[in-house]
Every structure is written in C-alpha cells, then in structure tokens.
Amino acid sequence: MSQMQSVERQLREMILALEIGPGERLTERWIEGRFGASRTPVRAALLRLETEGLVGRDGRGWTVSPINLAELEQIAVYREAVEVAALRLTCMHAERGAIDVIEAMLDSCDENTPREEWHRVGMDFHIELARLSGNEFLFRAVRDAMTRLSRARWLEVRDETALGRAWLEHRAILAAARLGQADEAARLLSAHITGSRGRLVTSLANDRRGLRARGFAVVAA
C-alpha cells in the first residue's frame, strides 16, 4: 500500500474516531511527523479528506471540520433524497439473497455487542442497502453522507431504547423491500431518517456545553 493511501486512511480514522477533535488545527508538518511520511503524501491525503468534508481550509492552514448542526440537518435532507431513491431502485430488482445478507448484519448485534460495533453496523446497514440499488452514484452519495454524519452520531447521547427502535425500523424497511413494496419501504425509511435526524440534532444541541468542554467545536444550527 502506498504511503499516500496509508496516510489518508490513518488520518481519516483518527478524525472519525475523534482522536483529533472537531475544530482542531492541523499542520502539514505535524501530520508528516505523526505518520512518518513526507509532505507529498500528506498533502494528497488532506486534499482528499477535504472533498469528504472531514478537514477544511482555515485561511492558510487546515482544521478538522467542526460539528455544524445546521449542516447536519442539510446532510440529513440530502441523505433522505438519495437513500430513498436507492431503496426504490432496490425494491424494483431486489434479490432475495442480497437482502438476507443485510439482515444478517443486523442479527450480528446482540446485548453483548460493544457500543461501537452497534454504531458501525448501523452505518453499514444504510450503506450496504444503498449499494444494492446498483447505482454507483446513489451508493457513493449515501456512503459520503453517512461518513459526514458519523462523528456526530458517535457523540450523540443514545439510550438503549433508541438503538432498539432503530433496529426494529431497519427490519421493517428490509421486510417491505423484500416484498418489493417500494412506496411502503420509502415511507418507512423517510420516517426513520427524519426521526433520527431530529434526535441527533436535539441531543447535540442539549449537550453542546459538554461537548465544548471536551474541546470539540460545535457550531449551532
């Protein structure tokens, strides 16, 4: 694996895992030293992560993108558009086996599963479901949106019941898709996304003080 891709991957993981906090400043030289690479691959990584919205320019320098509540709401709207479109396509030519694989993902989580795994599977459920549409651009759009949302979802204060409800909704969506009921599946997915958007933004807004205390830049809606 080239260093270029390696730096990009490692830096992305650090940002998504909040090891580098939202709003933190980045210098190319620090990254260079941190990953033992020279500036060429570092720059390539920053340029790529910029298009993913994970880092941004701050005048002359770079910063890890802050959590922006207004932006999160816009992403959720965007996500709903592309994810519902993908799901409708999937309903048209749903393959039994493919949907079973997604369902198995959900089954893999139980009460003994660590929280971070629930988090990851919850994201992958939506991404893999979009992949089934067969439309590369809808798939990429969903994956990109989920990536942009993932740090915020990680910060969200979620109770157990919320996770349980999400899983029930996921299963209901799959059931409708399996039967090819596009309108019903779309309705369920829209409700699921709208609901989780509301809870996400509310939770972050309520905990904004706490998040700032942890050094995380959180921009209001």
Query: Are 72 and 22 in contact, with CB atoms under 8 Å apart?
Result: no
Query: Are 189 and 173 in contact, with CB atoms under 8 Å apart?
Result: yes
49 binds its own copies (CB under 8 A): no
145 binds, among its own copies, DNA, none (CB under 5 to 8 A by kind): its own copies
Site string for its own copies, 137-176 (x = CB under 8 A): xx--x---x-------------------------------
Q: Which is nearer to DNA, 43 or 120 (CB)?
A: 43
**Which amino acid belongs to residue 188?**
L
38 binds, among its own copies, DNA, none (CB under 5 to 8 A by kind): DNA
80 binds its own copies (CB under 8 A): yes
Cα(73)–Cα(79) distance, integer angstroms: 10
Candidate list 13, 19, 61, 206; residue touching DNA; CB under 7 A: 61
89 binds, among its own copies, DNA, none (CB under 5 to 8 A by kind): its own copies
43 binds its own copies (CB under 8 A): yes
Pure H helices in 133-181:
136-155, 160-178
Phi, psi of 12, deg, nearest 5: -60, -45
Q: Which is nearer to DNA, 40 or 206 (CB)?
A: 40
Beta strands, E only, the chain: 25-26, 55-58, 61-64, 67-68, 218-219
Phi, psi of 175, deg, nearest 5: -60, -45
Query: Are 177 and 99 in contact, with CB atoms under 8 Å apart?
Result: yes
206 binds DNA (CB under 7 A): no
Q: Which of residues 62-81 bind DNA (CB under 7 A)?
A: 62
User: 62 pairs with which residues across the strands?
Assistant: 26, 57
Q: Which positions lie near its own copies, rule CB under 8 A?
A: 40, 43-44, 47-48, 51, 71, 74-75, 77-78, 80-82, 84-85, 89, 135-138, 141, 145
Where do contacts with DNA occur on this chain (CB under 7 A)? 2-4, 26-30, 37-41, 43-44, 59-62
